[in-house]
Chains A and B, each alone.
Chain A
């Protein structure tokens, strides 16, 4: 009897303890649903938008000494909608008929760019311990404890109240108002909506302003939860809240609210009872150690994989979308032969000059950066395969690369195996992981596949890396995850120049394999599936086999690249190189430049590795002007995030990527100037 009473009280307490974080997840999940319903965008940048408003409110209240109301008006009712309007006008208006995946990529770019841009413009920076204040006086110091079990603060009550009111108001908007109907109609088909006299652009702008306002409100309400206001915290909350939004299938506002609250309560119950049980049942302890920190990601992955409703989710398709032409072929396959020849000759000459310069003149830093660029280009070829060829978004390429890197470390450290052999083993292991991962997510498509892979990446980050047989565990704490350089016959690759040659050779081999894949049966199958899965199936193509193959090949390439990176750096710098957020950044970079070509991967590797030194630190000027660098250098490193993130803006207009776009334009100009007869055959400068 006593036990039952105690358990009941514990359960009630856990519910009360889980409700505040649950209401935070619910707020964000509602924002997700709102944005998705009104714009069709799976807005990963929601956290970034929320952060900007929260930081603005914090700045106004704490730094400028404003009162609550004016600070709230500025941050939530002026800045937040303004950001929404700007995003809609500059970016999302051009993405109306684009795939959900394309919109997701742009949102990831904004996630990277918005916080840094805000901090550069306002000079805002986090100060440890300077806790944001809420919108209610005494919000964090006044508590209510109606049950005498667990007190809840005013700030938390405000979060819950706004989540409830928001759900009701937004639900009413969509269900009972003509505006709500118009909002949903514009998402379905802006062109068809305009046929009925509705200004789709204006409705879309209103939708973005509304959803951004909600993001701003959520940000200001959530901010007191953090003792130091920083953008990454908001992003992590968003990842957790996606699970709640997924429970609502991105369509149901009550589902999102209940999903958020349920998630918070479930985690609290889990954390309440599991540690207690492990005292008597030792076999449960591994679950506590490994599942507790990764609970949100496990739930997210589980929801995506096991929730049938998500697999049956109706895709939003514009009935008039069929009038759009299919994506054009690569420029290289259609352009004038003379131009192709000239381009190749120039490229080879350029690479020879650059290669000779690097090999003969570069110091250790430039050798390191160039070698890193080449190896990253290998890893980026994995994105070329999975995204460029198969049309799937995988956000766990960092985890695959880490599998390769850790394999090299473990095999070299424990079994003294040659690191190059270990790199091949690492690639094979990564391929196996990729293939296994692809099986449960086979039925997921587009955005859901991307989110499932993101959940896996965070799970790998939170759990797998900790195991001694993967990340080294306690041993690595004292000895590090050090990896030796190889020696082959007379060649000792401890020499950085020699290792660069090895990396270039590896990139060449992998590139040839990728081209073979693209031109071979597998590539054609993937292209067919990308065009129409149903049509492909009707001609006997197995999407299961093709997808598993794509994942495995992509993971193998990433694993091989990760292994090479570890050998190059002589250490597995997991946090530096392979974290989930790093992989997000990779994707934005590759698809912005060109996800379908080898050049795209190469340029992306160079951009990631060399941009900082060449551009932001002004080395280009030093070379050109023989040592003189303008006074504005070095530029704040935050510009890297801003520029790379905003590069995704052009993705909305040129989904083929900047590199491919440049090649098309060059081909068109060449034809106009030198070959009028082929003008008609020239590739389009832009694709739809």
Chain B
């Protein structure tokens, strides 16, 4: 348990001491402390290079402005603060004729919360205690964030500073708003990462102008909040989509069931949207809705035997649900019991390797759709390689939430990078909101943050993704495999039309 000088806490076991956070094998093959600036005692040779680099940077800055080119970055040339440029450890062999990497330009900043000459600090809020799902959320999410920061710090950090987790707050399911206000009051972090089940604090974070990066499973709380950046954009819960119908077609099914909880409005709306989607594309996929039930008890406390019997009578051979992973297991067990083990399930929330491994062959043949490029893809994606490599270096398990944390951390990094070396919270938010093709290095479907904070409605191309994509994986023997070619794991459709078409297999970030 580390107590910081400002009195806030570090989470035990997750301290990001500089020595450990950067002593990692860089994905580019650089060991040790690569790029940390030592502004107090530079060797004269290095000083000379810095002076040259500063000169070059000033020229580049004057000529081009922010190299990111997509943000409303602060005017570094007008502010004209003293800048220092340093390269990672590899700079000792770098030719001085090459332009310096703008990521390593250091400009002293005053009055930017969470930013000093050494570090850009973030807070992480999430649920650990009282998690009704029993899944790993906060700790796995933190794994991904820390891995990303370690990866970037190993490269040399950002603008002469390391990225770090200042403190971690467990919102205990019901205290998200209080934790958010705690962060706002402390005013000691640059941004906030948020992975919670009840996002009651997102409004306050948004209003306070703190960049907030979140596990976006909350359509309501993320809608129209331009300072909140999910790992996916604002969602349309009621819209039809082609993912489930196409999966039905892939499975060769003809009779579809859509199931959801009655107590959850999210689940009900999702269940109806799936049914509408099947109805819309029924002719094209050769399947029809056979059974619909959006009034199941949360967690299936009375089991699901009568419903399974009914589906058996109706000849259902594909079931899409809007339920949690524990309920999916209950249903799969009941299907197996009633001799329906071959029925294909479409899982919304079961991209959980430990959970699926524990289930053995129970889910064989079922589909899951992660909201990012699956780990099982082999798309030669540098960001995914960095993720798996850094996670392995740190000894952390790959998980859905870790990837979400990594994606959120990348959004934070991108925001600051786009804002330029003279950054603050507002300029970082503005910079990210001007990104029209943000894809976390190819891990997610490209988001246009200039317009995708607004939840779209059916057929609303103005606020929706340009492409409707999904990257399904199929379960087999307690593991996952991509449905599409692992090199191009995404199935995509043009989203300007609702017309049916065969999807295009693609990959992002290339």
Contacts and interface: CB of A to CB of B under 8 A. Distances in A.
A535 B217 CA distance: 58
B302 A271 contact: yes
Contacts of A638: 129
Given A13-B309, A290-B295, A637-B172, A631 B3 contact: yes
A576 B219 contact: no
Range class of the B interface residue count:
35 or more
A219 to B, nearest CB: 16
A549 interface: no
Interface string A137-165: 00010010000001101000000000000
Nearest to A272: B306
A471 B265 contact: yes
Given A276-B310, A293-B295, A462-B262, A129 B358 contact: yes
Interface residues of A, number: 80
B297 A230 contact: no
Interface stretch (A178-186, A316-324, A363-371): A363-371
A365 B185 contact: yes
Interface string B173-191: 0110110011011000000
A466 interface: yes
A622 interface: yes
Contacts of B185: 363-366
Nearest to A270: B306
A467 B467 CA distance: 34
A629 interface: yes
Contacts of B198: 573, 575-576
A233 B301 contact: yes
Interface in B418-474: 455
B329 A131 contact: yes
B237 interface: yes
A288 B178 CA distance: 38
Given A289-B262, A637-B172, A236 B177 contact: no
Nearest to B170: A637
A368 B295 contact: no
Contacts of A662: none
B278 to A, nearest CB: 17
B329 A227 contact: yes
Decide if the interface of chain A is mainly helix, strand, loop or mixed.
helix
Contacts of B132: 230, 232
Interface string A266-300: 01100110011000000000001110110110000
A132 to B, nearest CB: 12
Interface in A467-487: 471-474, 476-480
A379 to B, nearest CB: 16
A680 B306 CA distance: 69
Among B262, B265, B306, B307, find the residue whose CB has the most chain A CB atoms closer than 10 A.
B306
Nearest to B182: A365
B495 interface: no
A631 B12 CA distance: 11
B221 A480 contact: yes
B237 A267 contact: no
Given A233-B301, A268-B305, A462 B263 contact: yes
A268 B297 CA distance: 13
A233 B338 contact: no
Interface stretch (A14-22, A98-106, A385-393, A503-511): A14-22
A153 B303 CA distance: 14
A129 B329 contact: yes
A249 to B, nearest CB: 24
Interface in A613-635: 613, 622, 627, 629, 631-634
Contacts of A368: 177-178, 181
B220 A478 contact: yes
Contacts, number: 184
Nearest to B298: A293
Contacts of A240: 301
B129 A477 contact: no
B326 A129 contact: yes
A522 interface: no
B335 to A, nearest CB: 12
A461 B219 contact: no
A383 to B, nearest CB: 20
Contacts of B147: none
B381 interface: no
B293 interface: yes
Given A272-B306, A289-B295, A573-B200, A236 B301 contact: yes
Nearest to B325: A128
Contacts of B237: 477-478
Given A129-B359, A474-B269, A364 B184 contact: yes
Contact residues of B: prevailing secondary structure: mixed
Nearest to B224: A479
B305 A17 contact: yes
A228 B326 contact: yes
Contact of B269 (A228, A289, A477, A480): A477
B309 A622 contact: no
B265 A569 contact: no
A496 B170 CA distance: 25
A478 B293 contact: no
A574 to B, nearest CB: 10
B455 A478 contact: yes
A613 B262 contact: no
Contacts of A685: none
Contacts of A126: 131, 134
B305 A634 contact: no
Contact of A227 (B261, B296, B326, B455): B326
A622 B263 contact: no
Interface string B229-257: 00000000110000000000000000000
Nearest to A274: B306
Contacts of B3: 629, 631
Given A128-B325, A129-B352, A631-B1, A143 B302 contact: no
B508 interface: no
A531 B303 CA distance: 46
B337 to A, nearest CB: 6
B354 interface: yes
Nearest to A25: B302
A264 interface: yes
Contacts of B359: 129
Contacts of B295: 288-290, 292-293
A272 B309 contact: yes
3 residue pairs, one from A and one from B, having the closest CB atoms:
A129-B355, A126-B134, A363-B185
17 contacts: A13-B309, A128-B354, A128-B355, A129-B355, A131-B358, A230-B132, A233-B301, A364-B181, A366-B185, A474-B265, A478-B219, A571-B200, A573-B177, A576-B177, A613-B178, A634-B9, A636-B129
Interface of B: 1, 3, 7, 9, 129-136, 170, 172, 174-175, 177-178, 181-182, 184-185, 198, 200, 203-204, 219-221, 223, 237-238, 261-263, 265-266, 268-269, 293-299, 301-303, 305-307, 309-310, 325-326, 329-330, 333, 337-338, 352, 354-356, 358-359, 455
